[in-house]
Amino acid sequence: MNSPQRQYEERDASRGPGFLLGVIAGTCIGAGLAIWLSPRLASEIGERLTDSAREVRDRAGDALQRGSDRVGDAVSAATRKGQAVRDDVAESVARSAREVERYATAAKTDRA
């Protein structure tokens, strides 16, 4: 009958140098793949970050342009309203000046 200790020793001995060689080969292949893929992954991450930054910049530029357009429209509307008020005031002043002139002329005529 095989004792548990003997079974362990037989199983451990069956691994032998092949197991160790497999571990070393796997480590080397894994390290090689990591070295080979790392620059590619780093450059892809850099590209993604650059693309994201450009997208944020473009969105910010668009928002700034929309805000600038709104401000420009508001300024134009205020300017038009201001010009209309100025024209109304100028017309009222001119009308009042004509009325004052008429009263002055009538007062002169009444004295004469």
Mean pLDDT over 58-62 rounds to 94
Give the single-character DSSP code of 3: -
Q: What percent of the chain has pLDDT over 90?
A: 51
Domain locations in the chain as residue ranges? 49-112
Distance CA 50, CA 53 (A): 5
pTM: 0.46
Average pLDDT taken over every residue of the chain: 85
Q: For 4-46, write each residue's pLDDT tens digit.
A: 666 655 565 556 677 888 889 999 898 888 877 777 777 888 8
- Pick from 13, 20, 16: nearest CA to 5: 13
